[in-house]
Amino acid sequence: MEWTGTRYADKPTVEVPIWIAAPPERVWELVSDIELMPRLSAELQSVEWLDGGTRPAPGARFVGRSRHEALGEWATTSHVVECEPPGVFAWAVEDPEQPAAIWRFTLQPEDGGTLLRQWMQLGPGRSGLSVAIDSMPEKEQKIVFVRMREFEANIGATLTAIKKLAEESGKADV
């Protein structure tokens, strides 16, 4: 991906695909288990459903707590904006109308397994990155570039971990 010259207002995106030798239903069990995600992420520390929720559904909310060496610690509330098992799971961070970010998993059957994609969009609403940009506006493009590269690497690591879990459990089913 290339984000050189991209500004926050451009709503930069990243998408990483991975093929998994497991059916979409098994992969869905993993990607829709938000409480599993902190075990697969270096940045995300904990996640919990709000309002008595226990699984994704349109309008459901959850809080995520994260930590980053340069950005510190923070918590955000996310709102499920798409939930179509076993095909799409997406959430908007903070305000669903002006989200700080949007995250989406899409799953499609392919070659006897599942093509899983994780996509994210930064903005248009303000986020923790906005604070860094406010303090160094002349470095906005570099700040966005570095963060998008981090997202790409972190998504790749998460998808690799999901693939491993899905394929290992699939062997036990045979």
With CA atoms as reference, report the closest residue to 143 among 131, 156, 158, 157. Answer: 131
Q: How confident is the model at residue 1 (pLDDT cuts 50, 70, 90)?
A: low
The rounded percent of the chain whose pLDDT value lies above 90 is: 84
Whether pTM exceeds 0.85: yes
CATH class of 8-173: alpha beta
Q: How confident is the model at residue 173 (pLDDT cuts 50, 70, 90)?
A: very low
With CA atoms as reference, report the closest residue to 93 among 67, 72, 120, 71. Answer: 120
Contact 120, 1 (CB under 8 A): no
Mean pLDDT for the stretch of residues 43-47: 94
In the chain, domain spans? 8-173
Alpha-carbon gap, residue 137 to 124, rounded angstroms: 17
Per-residue pLDDT tens digits for 94-153? 999 999 999 999 999 999 999 999 999 999 999 988 988 999 999 999 999 999 999 999
Alpha-carbon gap, residue 17 to 119, rounded angstroms: 9
Taking each helix axis as running N to C, give the angle between helix 24-31 and helix 140-173, from 0 to 180 degrees, rounded to the nearest 10.
130
Rg (CA), the chain: 16
